[in-house]
Amino acid sequence: MFWPMTAVALAFCGIAVLGVLAARVFTEVRRLSRQVAEASRRIERATEDLERAATPLAARPGAPDGG
């Protein structure tokens, strides 16, 4: 009777460890997704700033692509 109870206890401990690790992975994935979203917003803002800064330069008569 000792070995079956030990096997059940070890199985329960293993499932508990897997549950804790799954929760940690879930929280890290959420944190990573927030960071990716913030980086995406920053890249979008930088792209808009670059386009705004380049528009007057492209419209100048002496610009290679401006005419």
Asked if the model's pLDDT at residue 67 lies above 90, the reply is no
Q: What pTM was estimated for this model as a whole?
A: 0.64
Residue type, 67: G
Give the residue extent of every domain in the chain. 15-56
Cα 35 from Cα 14, distance rounded (Å)? 32
Which regions of the chain does DSSP assign to beta strands (E)?
none
Write the pLDDT tens digit of every residue in 16-50. 999 999 999 999 999 999 999 999 999 999 999 99
Per-residue confidence (pLDDT) for residue 51, from 0 to 100: 92
